[in-house]
């Protein structure tokens, strides 16, 4: 039996959680980031939630995790090529979001840079 799959559903399952999109957004701005830097760059995310989302993104092969043999331990996260391939999608979402905010009367000077 051949099971049909929906590509949109699959993409939403991978990145549909709000925290995942924001993690990917932040990792698109640099080659790599440490846990604390990621947490500071995402308003309202708890340590537990960030840990869970990073693990899921790593399991889905959208990010990679590099552990350095140091004391204290140093861990860096970066996007894989597959994760970087999401950049044009996030840029499109940003463009749409800016247009939406403008229709609601938000001044573009109040936008956070992507």
Mean pLDDT for the chain overall: 91
Residue 46 tokens, joined: 């708890």
- Does 46 reside within a domain? yes
- Does 107 reside within a domain? no
Q: In what order do the strands lie in the sheet with 63-68?
A: 33-34, 74-79, 63-68
- Which residues, in sequence order, are CB contacts of 22 under 8 Å at separation 6+? 41, 42, 45
pLDDT in tens, 101-114: 989 888 887 887 65
Residue 113 carries which DSSP code?
P
- Which residues, in sequence order, are CB contacts of 100 under 8 Å at separation 6+? none
Residue 53 structural domain: 13-94
Q: How many domains in the chain?
A: 1
Helix (H, G, I), strand (E, B) or coil at 108: helix
User: How many Å is the maximal CA-CA distance in the chain?
Assistant: 54
Q: Where are the alpha helices (DSSP H) in the chain?
A: 7-15, 18-28, 35-40, 47-59, 81-84, 87-103
Residue 112: its pLDDT value, please? Answer: 76
CATH of the domain at 80: 1.10.10.10
Residue 81 tokens, joined: 């090529």
Residue 2: its pLDDT value, please? Answer: 80
Q: What is the pTM of this model?
A: 0.86
- Does 106 reside within a domain? no
- Does 113 reside within a domain? no
pLDDT in tens, 23-62: 999 999 998 999 999 999 999 999 999 999 999 999 999 9
- Does 114 reside within a domain? no
- Does 101 reside within a domain? no
């Amino acid at each position: 039996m051949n099971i049909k799959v929906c590509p949109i559903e699959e993409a939403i399952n991978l990145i549909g959680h709000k925290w995942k999109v924001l993690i990917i957004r932040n990792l698109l701005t640099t080659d790599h980031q440490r846990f604390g830097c990621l947490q500071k760059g995402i308003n309202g995310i708890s340590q537990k939630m960030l840990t869970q989302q990073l693990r899921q993104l790593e399991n889905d092969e959208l990010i990679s995790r590099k552990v350095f043999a140091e004391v204290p331990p140093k861990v860096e996260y970066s996007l894989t090529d597959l994760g970087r391939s999401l950049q044009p999608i996030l840029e499109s979402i940003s463009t749409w979001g800016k247009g939406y905010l403008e229709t609601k009367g938000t001044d573009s000077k109040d936008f956070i840079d992507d």
